């Protein structure tokens, strides 16, 4: 078996594992996905960190198996890390999704009217199609396979 194929299979399995774990939380909206990641980080840290930092794990897989650096994934990982830091790693310990989202929204915007707050909260709770909820995972997979095949 070719080393490229092994790398692609590992990347595929890692992304499928992330989607499977997130789907076990019955994700239907952006708020569900954010809260699932937050919940995993607080209640099952080892699994949570594996699921949260999956892009960095893919970068490490590419570096160790293929000895190459994937710039596109590094950029995606940097953007996702910023979002994770802003939304997942907050100084709040709660099992209530509403409390969690209230804190996240207040951290995102320093000045917010009540109507703006309600509008943002409604957008986060709005049911989304699965492809939109997992678009990041699809982009990561496509960039990783593209990079592996070019290398």
What is residue 83's predicted lDDT score, i.e. its pLDDT?
Answer: 87
Contacts of 54 (CB under 8 A, 6+ apart): 14, 15, 18, 140
Predicted pLDDT of residue 3? 92
pTM for the structure as a whole: 0.89
Domain range for 123 is: 3-150
Total domains in the fold of the chain: 1
- One-character DSSP codes across 16-71: HHHHHHHHTTT--BHHHHHHHHHHHHHH-HHHHHHHHTHHHHHHHHHHHHH----H
pLDDT 10s digits, 35-83: 999 999 999 999 999 999 999 999 999 999 999 888 989 999 999 999 8
Q: Please, which pLDDT band fits residue 29 given cuts at 50, 70 and 90? A: very high
């Amino acid at each position: 078996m070719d080393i490229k194929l092994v790398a692609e299979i590992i990347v595929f399995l890692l992304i499928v594992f992330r989607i499977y774990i997130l789907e076990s939380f019955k994700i239907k909206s952006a708020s569900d996905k954010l809260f699932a990641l937050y919940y995993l980080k607080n209640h099952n840290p080892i699994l949570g960190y594996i699921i949260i930092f999956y892009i960095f794990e893919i970068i490490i897989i590419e570096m160790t198996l293929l000895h190459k650096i994937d710039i596109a994934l590094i950029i995606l990982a940097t953007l996702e890390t910023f979002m994770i830091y802003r939304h997942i790693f907050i100084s709040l310990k709660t099992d209530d999704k509403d409390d969690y989202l209230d804190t996240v929204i207040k951290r995102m915007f320093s000045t917010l009217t009540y109507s703006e707050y309600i509008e943002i909260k409604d957008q986060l709770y709005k049911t989304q199609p699965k492809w939109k909820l997992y678009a990041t995972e699809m982009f990561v997979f496509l960039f990783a396979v593209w990079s592996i095949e070019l290398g």
